[in-house]
Amino acid sequence: MQYNLSQFYIGGSWTDPHGTGSVDVVNPATEQPIGSLVLGNDADIDAAVSAARAALPGFSATNREKRIALLERVLDVYIDRVDDFAQAISLEMGAPINMSREMQAQVGIDHLEAIIADLKTIDFEERLTNGDTLVRMPVGVCGLITPWNWPINQIVLKVGPALAAGCTMVLKPSELTPLSAILYAEVLHEAGVPAGVFNLVHGEGPVVGAALSRHPDVAMMSFTGSTRGGVAVTRDAAETVKKVALELGGKSPNLIFADCDLETAVTEGIEACFINTGQSCDAATRMLVERSVYDRAVELAQEQCEQMTVGNPAEPGDHLGPLSSAQQYTRVQEMIEAGIAEGAQLVAGGPGKPEGFETGYYARPTIFADVNNAMRIAQQEIFGPVLVMIPFDNEAEAIAIANDTPYGLSAYVQTGDSDRAARVARALHSGMVNVNGAFLGAGSPFGGIKTSGVGREGGREGILEYLETKVIAAP
């Protein structure tokens, strides 16, 4: 398949960029370039924002029915091309093709279906109990910055709600994973999204991302990525006092109590940590286990981890793929070395590449036991296939350890006591809690607290992020 890496999508057509810099898009399984991506500059952002601003009056005036019909056309075109997205994501960030089809590309369908369903329920005007009228209106031109780890997931969770709300937008995807963004621009064009409503500019965060965040004609920034990147977007947006929504990092605890099905809990906990090669912001990276079953849990975790395999993402199977980039590989190796230096017990895996994988950014699935919360590996987001295991003595201690983190994105609880499940879930400082193997569905609000972000994505709450509230008082 051919990807247009040399042009941007602005004002309804593919245009030559003002920027002259470029960067190789690298296949992480082979370390070989897929192609060279042209990078934009401030002038490209000016052109894209100008197109979005020009399209805003007409698109923001469309009614709910027209937006629903538009989103349904987008969904139909996406479904027709869903395997193109699976292939692109596997190629650009190393997701194994089975996982890419079943999850990475599939979420583009699931999220959009939920957005369409929730758009049908939102009241854009309502009468308050005091007789005043509340009106929900599009926030305006939106800047959207998306990451590389779940590329189409985050694009759909921003573009879909923005279209549903009647906003126009400029998307800057990660320069590591531009292929899926290019395909999505093609989908939107084929579905008939009006010219200027959606615009795509590639570039680096400190250049294009900063220009977008600072732009006076951008009313809202929605950013998904690292906490450091979110802070930078917030600072750049501050001078123009624009709305900012952030979905950032996480260090999610998984609390395993002795009264649960231990084997199932440990197996599902490792899967929740290592899915997408551990490159998920809500990965269950801290496994907290009640001390009476802790030793057995460590044995089960070791057995499970040693059965895991890594492999070529182009080949079918349930193996793990490579990390997304050389930079990410280096980061994960540094954190594994830090865990060893801090005295954590290396249960499985360790530094270096798996045997037989000298080429590609492959890491060994790794588990540390006897970790305490003062260690770097317990506090810092690793973003790789690394699990830390921490014992606890009672419920209160488990909650205290779980909450002793600067992050607050997701959490997991495993227990056979339904009262405890409800009690602990409400005591955890996180935006989401998954109990006994359940996981929130499409349409549920995704997001966190503390340094994990501000705002929510998905479904009704995700649409409301792109709406402003006006109150009209009239006799």
Domain presence at residue 58: yes
Q: Is 231 in the same domain as 265?
A: no
Q: Is 257 in the same domain as 202?
A: no
Q: How many independent structural domains does the chain possess?
A: 2
Domain presence at residue 275: yes
CATH no. for residue 193?
Answer: 3.40.605.10
Domain presence at residue 31: yes
Q: Is 415 in the same domain as 300?
A: yes
Cβ atoms within 10 Å, residue 8:
27
Q: CB of 389 within 8 A of CB of 301? A: yes
Distance CA 53, CA 259 (A): 57
The beta-strand segments (E) located in 153-247 are: 168-172, 198-200, 220-224, 243-247
Q: Is 285 in the same domain as 183?
A: no
Q: Which residues touch 238 (CB under 8 Å, ≥6 apart)?
A: none
Confidence tier at 1 by pLDDT (50, 70, 90): confident
Residue from 203, 212, 104, 221 nearest 158 by CA: 221
Residue of 142, 167, 273, 281 with catalytic role: 281
Q: Is 233 in the same domain as 310?
A: no
Q: How far is CA 233 from CA 28, 43, 69, 249, 292, in A?
A: 28, 19, 33, 15, 45
Q: Which domain holds residue 107?
A: 8-249+451-472
Q: Quick: pLDDT tens for 373-404.
A: 999 999 999 999 999 999 999 999 999 999 99
Tell me what the mean pLDDT of segment 231-244 comes to.
97
Tell me what the mean pLDDT of segment 243-268 comes to.
98
Q: Show the DSSP H helices in 342-417 as ranges.
A: 376-379, 395-403
Q: Is 258 in the same domain as 155?
A: no
Q: Quick: pLDDT tens for 399-435.
A: 999 999 999 999 999 999 999 999 999 999 999 999 9
Q: Is 104 in the same domain as 156?
A: yes
Q: How far is CA 247 from CA 127, 157, 228, 358, 408, in A?
A: 32, 11, 12, 34, 11
Q: CB of 257 within 8 A of CB of 414? A: yes
Q: Is 358 in the same domain as 405?
A: yes
Domain presence at residue 434: no
Domain presence at residue 317: yes
Q: Quick: pLDDT tens for 52-107.
A: 999 999 999 999 999 999 999 999 999 999 999 999 999 999 999 999 999 999 99
Residue of 175, 247, 268, 465 with catalytic role: 247
If you average pLDDT over every residue of the chain, what do you get? Answer: 97
Q: Is 178 in the same domain as 71?
A: yes
Q: Quick: pLDDT tens for 289-330.
A: 999 999 999 999 999 999 999 999 999 999 999 999 999 999
Domain presence at residue 114: yes
Q: Is 281 a catalytic residue?
A: yes
Domain presence at residue 389: yes
Distance CA 209, CA 223 (A): 10
Distance CA 322, CA 340 (A): 22
CATH no. for residue 424?
Answer: 3.40.309.10
**How high is the pLDDT of residue 87?**
98
Distance CA 365, CA 353 (A): 10
Q: pLDDT at residue 185 above 90?
A: yes
Total residues found in the chain within this entry? 475
Q: Is 176 in the same domain as 266?
A: no
In DSSP notation, 255-307 reads: EE-TTS-HHHHHHHHHHHHHGGGG--TT---EEEEEGGGHHHHHHHHHHHHHH
Q: Supply the pTM of this predicted model.
A: 0.97
Domain presence at residue 355: yes
Q: Is 44 in the same domain as 90?
A: yes
Q: Is 243 in the same domain as 274?
A: no
